[in-house]
Chains A and B, each alone.
Chain A
Amino acid sequence: MKDVLTTCVYCGCGCGVYLHEDQGRICGAFPSRNHPVSRNNLCVKGWNIHEFIHHPARLTEPLLRKAGHLTPVSWDEALTYTATRLTEIRDQTANQGLGVLSSAKCTNEENYLLQKFTRAVLKTNNIDQCARL
């Protein structure tokens, strides 16, 4: 059982929120008392932030479309297929045919890696995210 301080994923306020873990499951959330934004307060989204983490609809395996259906496959298969197809399209379209959408739900580090991947590996600047939506 432990409480871990982390940052809320919902809005741009960025409240400090503790996640309560018990036997490998996250079963509660409560505000940080001294955090400069939350100051012992969360909105309703923050108080219930743990509810989606263990939802049964979570994806847990890579899926690949086979004969029209998304079918569970191994990471190796999914990654190799993706890499091959991305390389093909990149080369066929002279680096013009690929586009990448990054996310405001991903961390800074992940956004950095994704734009690095887009620019250095896919050789394009076609990367954007939903800042305007």
Chain B
Amino acid sequence: MTNSINEIAQAQVILVSGSNTTEAHPQVARRMFDAIDRGAKLIVIDPRRTRLAEHAHIHLAIRPGSDIPLLNAMMRIILDENLADDLFIEMRTENYHALRDMLYQLDLDETAEITGVPLAKISAAAQLYARAQKAVVCYCLGVTQHICGTNNVQSIANLAMLTGHVEKEFTGVDPLRGQNNVQGACDMGALPGHFPSYQPVNTAEYRTKFEQAWGTELSGTPGLSLMEMTHSGPQGAIRGMLIMGENPMLSDPNLKKVEATLKNLDLLVVSDIFLTETAALADVVFPAASFAEKTGTFTNSERRVQMVRQVIPPLGSCRSDGEIIMALSQVMGYDMRYESMAEVMEEIALLAPIYGGMFHDRIEGCWGLQWPCWNRDHAGTSFLHKYYFTRGRGHFVPATHEAAAELPDADFPFILNTGRVYHQYHTGTMTRQSSSLNREASEALLEVNPQDAARLGLRTGDWVELSSRRGSATVKAHITEQVAKGSVYTSFHFPAVAINLLTSDARDPKAQCPEYKVSAVRLEKINP
């Protein structure tokens, strides 16, 4: 996020795209409701009528996968209404002409047709957003989990820059991070192409810095991404995997391929707190300590680095993941020894500029620090892009509509969309063990629109066989107007309905993000 979570409460207009915020980011949603209480206007872009959409002043229920045409139409309207922030564009951005040329070639009626939203509604939303002084955009996986995810994100950036709604307090573009420490894992360089602090591995200067610090030679070739590893197939290049706290056997798309890959590895090592679906396939399983049994830091969506404190010693003979890595490294002949996690943080501060001022003793004494925090005296940064964009001028990249990789047809007439529910978390490794949470939501439900249900003779509670070109699953139907006609929706937390057996593994070529949000499926009622 470029803003802090609390800033959202002060915005005048909040545009939310592809985020089921009330369920996936409750505290962010709470700030949105605070803002509405203060008189702010809420615009929600979501194919589903989510809880948040019910509170929206304008709900743009677009067809899945038509984010770019919608955003382009909004930008065209902003130009036509003369609402672009010319001064900002002149002073702070580049490549504006390319965007403007593309927008002027757009046929507004045709574009509105693609999105399935009336033009008047799009126009109202565009003007509301553009006229606001303090406008925030929040987006989440509904935007990135498409074949054109990178372009979707770019289009949001275009919209924000066109109206000058960036780099101010209470104003900006805020990607919401799905899991607690996704931000931190990226910051720390758990990425195939980057060292900590986003320093590219193929730049000699950075590589030399890390080679000197670590006293060993390093490879400058970017590695494989998650999907390239887990979908490489039984004869793939990857022969051994070390998986720490992840459960690709439930979370990854097209599970059959993942299973074929993992089962045919020469070595699979998993470290986790429970025997997950992935751990059950492993050759070696390490029992890991839970967050209550170790010390360290997490980085939240607003880039706030906060302490995780040990409350009890590790259960049984569990060890923290950090200790496991150190021990393994030791046995393999590379001396990796730290007295404490505070010492690891000191090394991070030395090598990762954005964490340059992060030390446990500092973070201990306050509510955490927000990066970039360049040195010990730096107070952290509550909103980004304050005086300049991280890369100099903001660059407009025009994007045009790209149809989803798999569209519904006669055989598979429905669009399947997947996501999270409020009471469960990711693959449910932790939440499914909690009786209180299971009481609230213990099985996956397939949301079906009443009109479709009437045609198929379905009622809430009926069992449905859901199939795609890749696999099938049996799931209970839940009839609701939350989903649009022609679409169905379910969550991926439960192994009994491993919905990712069905999902498409088509992915965005730039970000390698799988297209979870659009798969073509067929529904059949099962008579018990």
Contacts and interface: CB of A to CB of B under 8 A. Distances in A.
Which among A36, A47, A50 has the greatest number of chain B C-beta atoms within 10 A? Answer: A36
B32 to A, nearest CB: 12
Given A52-B434, A120-B214, A59 B272 contact: yes
Contacts of B347: 112
B369 to A, nearest CB: 12
A8 B287 contact: no
A93 B237 CA distance: 9
A75 B185 contact: no
B464 to A, nearest CB: 25
A7 B183 CA distance: 14
A131 B214 contact: no
A6 B190 contact: no
Contacts of A82: 267, 269, 284, 328, 331
A81 B230 CA distance: 23
A125 B192 contact: yes
Given A57-B275, A125-B223, A132 B514 contact: yes
Nearest to A111: B188
B305 interface: yes
Interface in B318-334: 318-322, 325-329, 331-332, 334
Contacts of B285: 59, 62-64, 70
Contacts, number: 416
Contacts of A21: 311-312
B301 A13 contact: yes
B180 A8 contact: yes
Interface stretch (B67-75, B97-105, B292-300): B292-300
B373 interface: no
Which among A2, A11, A24, A70 has the greatest number of chain B C-beta atoms within 10 A? Answer: A11
**Main SS at interface, chain A:** mixed
Nearest to B189: A115
Nearest to A55: B433
B210 interface: yes
A67 to B, nearest CB: 12
Contacts of A109: 296-297, 322, 341, 344-345, 348
Interface of B: 4-6, 24-28, 30, 144-145, 176-193, 195-196, 201, 210, 214, 216-219, 221-226, 229-230, 237-246, 248, 251-252, 266-267, 269, 272-275, 279-280, 282-288, 290-294, 296-302, 304-312, 315-322, 325-329, 331-332, 334, 336, 341, 344-345, 347-348, 367-368, 422-423, 425-426, 430-431, 433-437, 440, 511-514, 516
Interface of A: 2, 4-16, 19, 21, 24-26, 34-38, 41, 43-45, 47-48, 50-55, 57-65, 70, 75, 78-83, 85-87, 89, 92-93, 95-121, 123-133
Give me the 10 closest cross-chain CB pairs, A-B, nearest first. A60-B316, A14-B300, A107-B296, A125-B223, A103-B245, A43-B26, A12-B177, A102-B190, A12-B301, A51-B434
Given A52-B433, A63-B287, A125-B222, 16 more contacts: A10-B180, A12-B179, A12-B180, A38-B27, A48-B434, A53-B292, A58-B318, A59-B287, A61-B287, A64-B283, A86-B328, A103-B244, A107-B341, A109-B297, A111-B188, A133-B251
